[in-house]
Amino acid sequence: MPFRLFNNHEPYFLINEELVWELEKLGFVILTSGEFYKTYSNFGLHFGMEIRFWELEAFNYVWTASPQDLKRVPPELLSDIRKEQLQLSRGYFYSESWLQKHGQAEVLTHTDIDTIDNDGEKWLVLTYEGWHSLQHAVQESLMQALIWERLAEQPSSLHHELLPDLPSHLEALVMRYANRFADSSGANCFAATLAFASGRIDHAQSIIDLWLHESPFRRGLATLGYGVTATFEDKSQVTDNQTLDVLVWEDKQGIGQHAAFCLTQDYVLNKMGQSWVQPWSIVSFDDVADYNGILSSEGRIVVHRKF
């Protein structure tokens, strides 16, 4: 079974209005950035691994194209559009030097793979059709290179056997999920935290793969008997984490941005985002204390404890 790296509609982020005009003349519908953000949640579930649009430089328009759509676009126009993706650091573009570094340069020799030249260097343009043209072994090798690069961006994870003794129900959950990947993108930190807070494998199975919003997450905690016991604006103040505690990172507006579940005083069960390539991990609290710079930006950590 081939690896699913993305679905068959690829997003192209655009700044140049002349490119937008040319696409519209070809009959394509182009979204403004504002229109795109209204539907971004569904987009994120499909493309969260490589296209992290929240990290892109400013863009004004989005064109979503199928393989058939790409064939309708004149080569020169398509090349200009792809070069704009490089300028924006969109993702799914890999330089020849990156491929050589990771032992993947052979991919450039495949006849069904798209490439472009930019500033004197050849770039692989990984498209839906190009990906599915590769043999399984080539897909696996390239996927491993991408995964290892993404894992290097995340806090180191502790093997569960190095944890001190846990309550039996927690040990079962840790054995089942810790240091594993979700089957697909969508599973996020709120779902992981609530699943572990439930304390039961059968309940966790129904929760952990969800793309869970903040509101149902907080309702779930309340149902389980959790309540707020402390609020901290500096990680040095967080010195009394207890097993079963839930930590919620809130921005300065009080909106929950992240959550983690305390396995011990020093280690939490954590998921860094909603992409499948971000595993459920056992990480040191110190490594995630200032998650996404929240504490550094006038945010806070709110401790929820089960009563």
pLDDT tens-digit series, residues 218-228: 999 999 999 99
Does the pLDDT of residue 44 top 60, yes or no? Answer: no
Q: Mapping DSSP to helix (H, G, I), strand (E, B) and coil, where does residue 24 land?
A: helix
**Given CA atoms 82, 84, 85, 86 in this order, what sign does their dihedral have?**
positive
Q: What is the mean pLDDT of residues 139-167?
A: 86
What are the Cα distances from residue 11, in Å, to 82, 114, 118? 11, 16, 20
Please state, in angstroms and rounded to a whole number, the distance separating the CA atoms of residues 63 and 148: 30
Q: What is the mean pLDDT of residues 219-248?
A: 95
The residue among 159, 128, 160, 124 whose CA lies nearest residue 145 is 124
Please state, in angstroms and rounded to a whole number, the distance separating the CA atoms of residues 271 and 258: 9
Does the pLDDT of residue 6 top 70, yes or no? Answer: no
**Cα dihedral 271, 273, 278, 281 in deg (nearest 10):** -10
pLDDT for res 40: 60
pTM above 0.85, yes or no: no
Please state, in angstroms and rounded to a whole number, the distance separating the CA atoms of residues 272 and 20: 35
Does the pLDDT of residue 14 top 80, yes or no? Answer: yes
Which carries the bigger pLDDT value, residue 165 or residue 234? 234
pLDDT for res 230: 95
pLDDT for res 260: 98
Q: Mapping DSSP to helix (H, G, I), strand (E, B) and coil, where does residue 42 land?
A: helix
Confidence class of residue 50 from pLDDT cuts 50, 70 and 90?
low
Tell me the per-residue pLDDT of 170-218, one tens digit each, with 9 for 90 and over.
Answer: 999 999 999 999 887 778 999 999 999 999 999 999 999 998 999 999 9
Beta carbons within 10 angstroms of residue 149's beta carbon: 13
Does the pLDDT of residue 55 top 70, yes or no? Answer: no
Cβ within 8 Å of residue 28, ≥6 positions away = 63, 65, 69
pLDDT for res 72: 95
φ, ψ at 67 (rounded to 5°): -55, -35
Tell me the per-residue pLDDT of 104-148, one tens digit each, with 9 for 90 and over.
Answer: 888 888 878 889 998 889 999 888 888 888 888 888 888 888 888
CB 292 within 8 A of CB 189: no
Please state, in angstroms and rounded to a whole number, the distance separating the CA atoms of residues 73 and 242: 58
- The edge-to-edge listing of strands for the beta sheet with 256-262 is 226-232, 300-306, 246-250, 256-262, 267-270, 281-284
How many separate helices (H) and strands (E) can be counted in the chain?
A: 13, 12
Does the pLDDT of residue 21 top 90, yes or no? Answer: yes
The pLDDT > 90 percentage for the chain reads: 55
Helix axes 168-177, 189-198, angle to 10 degrees: 150
Q: What is the mean pLDDT of residues 79-108?
A: 89
Confidence class of residue 2 from pLDDT cuts 50, 70 and 90?
very low
Give the largest CA-CA distance in the chain.
Answer: 65
* Domain residue ranges in the chain: 10-151, 160-306
Give the CATH number of domain 160-306.
3.90.1720
Residue ranges of alpha helices (H) inside 236-292 are 285-288
Share the mean pLDDT of the chain: 88
pLDDT for res 261: 98
CB 192 within 8 A of CB 275: no
CB 218 within 8 A of CB 259: no
Q: What is the mean pLDDT of residues 243-269?
A: 96
Please state, in angstroms and rounded to a whole number, the distance separating the CA atoms of residues 33 and 301: 32
Q: What is the mean pLDDT of residues 265-269?
A: 96
